[in-house]
């Protein structure tokens, strides 16, 4: 008897296409530009290859120091003191590499996106519209900003037209990773990752530890040069000719120390004043009070002794087909949803006793839902088949 392959009654074409779609994990349908490793356990930025350069700039000089310069220190210092001086930079380098891993391979504080749906503009009250709201072609409105209270001060947060959310205070959208990041500081090309609320502490420790490592190698190389001069009664030039590696490391570490040392001092200033790099470069609090600054001691405690918030994403969690088919992801789908945004420039403001504080330039959008984003069932099945082939290839 031939089996009936017809679907059960009561199921729509869209439900049938959802049932045919494979079960995918969040990292497999991720909309940002991030790269994942170990099947979603590690998340990197799109420029994560720069890590090879960063690590080599740290490891190679330490290898030269331990293999060449430290051998002289072992002979100069008795009672295994020279051996200890040679082991310290190796252990310190391993510690720095671990910090780099914590900065670059973890979620910096990505804010979840909202899937495109008609619910975004259905709940707005037309009577509450202000003059700076912008209509689109279908005469529907979308608020450019929303008021929130921060430590007794009213600030306006911006609506992100990419993530379809109102960004929390101090959140910004990274154009490199294509994500909204909580307490966004900057995107660091040296570690290939955004620096945000969840990895800023590790980033500061990485930069400051690298500074200390440079100063240590710089000092020990000078000690080696001085020992050569005393032992042979030679000039400083002759000592450098006898140990050229010491001269090279002195020049290298001196140059790098200015860069990482200045960066450490700058970020220490940001920590004590409770600012981010993004806010400082935009002169956010140059003429107005910083609503997040609560004193040097509290600011320092907030960064270094507060509990790190949990990630808002489980990248290995399975996503329902009806959810991930709503997203516009060119990696897994051969079509895109047509959301028509009309862009206008606005200023986000904060009001304190009648004074206005310019926070950031603001882009707002009106969303046109006149054309349905949901596609035909046949296109869903085609997308599902395309997903299966990509997932099998990834595995």
Could you report the per-residue pLDDT of 4-59, keeping only the tens digit for each? 444 444 444 445 455 556 678 999 889 899 999 998 999 999 999 999 999 999 99
188 is catalytic: yes
Q: Output 288 or 47, whichever has higher pLDDT.
A: 47
Residue-level pLDDT at 344: 37
At 149 the pLDDT is: 75
Helices 200-232, 81-104: inter-axial angle, 10-degree rounding: 160
> Residue 366: pLDDT band by 50, 70, 90 thresholds?
very low
Region 319-330 average pLDDT: 60
- The average confidence (pLDDT) of the chain is 76
- What separation in angstroms does the CA of 49 have from each of 157, 178, 196, 374? 34, 18, 20, 37
pLDDT at 18: 54
Q: For position 107, what pLDDT does the model report?
A: 95
> Quick one: pLDDT at residue 352?
37
Quick one: 107 exposed, middle or buried, by C-beta within 10 A (0-12, 13-18, 19+)? buried
More confident residue, 160 or 343: 160
pLDDT at 141: 55
Give the pLDDT score at 311: 93
Task: Assess whether pLDDT exceeds 80 at residue 173.
Answer: yes
Give the pLDDT score at 379.
42
How far, in Å, CA of 247 to CA of 241, rounded? 8
The pLDDT of 55-69, averaged and rounded, is: 93
Res 111 pLDDT > 60: yes
- pLDDT at position 17, please? 54
Report d(CA 220, CA 215) in Å as an integer: 9
| Range with top average pLDDT, 243-252, 279-288, 353-362 | 243-252
Q: pLDDT at position 218, please?
A: 96
Please report the pLDDT score of residue 20 as a whole number: 59
- Please say if the pLDDT value at position 109 is more than 80: yes
Lowest mean pLDDT among 50-59, 105-114, 340-349: 340-349
Q: What is the mean pLDDT of residues 197-201?
A: 95
Q: Higher-confidence residue: 23 or 211?
A: 211
As a whole number of Å, the end-to-end CA separation of the chain is 38
Write down the pLDDT at residue 157. Answer: 85
Question: Virtual CA dihedral for 322, 327, 330, 332, nearest 10 degrees?
Answer: -30
**Whole-number pLDDT of residue 289:** 83
Residue 195 vs residue 237, higher pLDDT: 195
Contact 177, 199 (CB under 8 A): no
pLDDT digits (tens, 9 = 90+) for 120-165: 444 444 333 333 344 443 444 567 777 777 777 777 788 888 888 8
Mean pLDDT of 303-316: 92
Q: What percentage of the chain has pLDDT greater than the value 90?
A: 43
Q: Which of 180, 188, 194, 214 is catalytic?
A: 188
* SS3 track for the chain: CCCCCCCCCCCCHHHHHHHHCCCEEHHHHCCCCCEEECCCCEEECCCCCHHHHHHHHHHHHHHHHHHHHHHHHHHHCCCCHHHHHHHHHHHHHHHHHHHHHHHHCCCCCECCCCCCCHHHCCCCCHHHCCCCCEECCCCCEECCEEEEEECCEEEEEEEECCCCEECCCCCEEECCCCEEECCCCEEECCCCEEECCCCHHHHHHHHHHHHHHHHHHHHHHHHHHHHHHHHHCCCHHHHHHHCHHHHHHHHHHHHHHHHHHHHHHHHHHHHHHCCCHHHHHCCCCCCCCCCCCCCHHHHHHHHHCCCCCCCCCCCCCEECHHHHCCCCCCCCCCCCCCCEEEEEEEEEEEEECCEEEEEEEEEEEEEECCCCCCCCHHHHHHHHHHHHHHHHHHC
Where do we find the tokens 């984003």?
373
Q: What count of other Cβ atoms lies within 10 Å of the Cβ of residue 305? A: 8
């Amino acid at each position: 008897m031939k089996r009936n392959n017809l679907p059960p009654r009561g199921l729509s074409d869209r439900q049938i296409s959802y049932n045919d779609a494979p079960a995918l994990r969040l990292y497999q349908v991720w909309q940002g530009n991030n790269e994942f490793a170990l099947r979603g356990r590690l998340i990197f930025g799109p420029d994560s290859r720069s890590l090879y350069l960063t690590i080599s700039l740290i490891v190679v000089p330490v290898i030269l120091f331990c293999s060449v310069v430290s051998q002289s220190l072992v002979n100069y210092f008795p009672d295994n003191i020279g051996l200890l001086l040679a082991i310290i930079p190796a252990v310190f380098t391993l510690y720095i590499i671990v910090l780099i891993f914590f900065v670059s391979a973890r979620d910096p504080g990505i804010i979840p996106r909202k899937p495109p749906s008609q619910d975004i503009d259905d709940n707005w009250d037309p009577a509450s519209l202000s003059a700076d709201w912008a209509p689109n072609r279908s005469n529907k409105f979308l608020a450019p900003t929303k008021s929130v209270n921060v430590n007794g001060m009213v600030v306006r947060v911006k609506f992100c037209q990419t993530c379809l959310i109102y960004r929390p205070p101090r959140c910004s959208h990274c154009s490199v990773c294509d994500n909204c990041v909580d307490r966004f500081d900057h995107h660091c090309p040296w570690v290939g990752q955004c620096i945000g609320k969840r990895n800023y502490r590790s980033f500061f420790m990485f930069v400051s530890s690298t500074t200390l490592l440079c100063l240590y190698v710089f000092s020990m190389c000078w000690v080696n040069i001085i020992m050569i001069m005393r032992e042979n009664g030679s000039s400083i030039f002759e000592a450098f000719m006898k140990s050229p590696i010491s001269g090279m490391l002195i020049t290298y570490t001196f140059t790098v120390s200015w860069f990482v040392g200045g960066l450490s001092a700058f970020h220490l200033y940001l920590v004590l004043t409770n600012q981010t790099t993004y806010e400082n470069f935009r002169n956010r609090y140059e003429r107005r009070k910083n609503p997040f600054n609560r004193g040097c001691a509290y600011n320092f405690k907030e960064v270094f002794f507060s509990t790190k918030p949990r990630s808002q994403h489980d990248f290995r969690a399975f996503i329902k087909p009806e959810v991930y088919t709503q997203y516009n992801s060119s990696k897994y789908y051969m079509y895109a949803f047509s959301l028509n945004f009309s862009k206008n420039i606005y200023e986000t403001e904060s009001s304190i006793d009648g004074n206005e504080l310019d926070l950031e330039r603001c882009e707002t959008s009106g969303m046109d839902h006149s054309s349905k984003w949901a596609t035909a069932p046949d296109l869903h099945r085609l997308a599902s088949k395309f997903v299966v082939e990509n997932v099998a290839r990834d595995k």
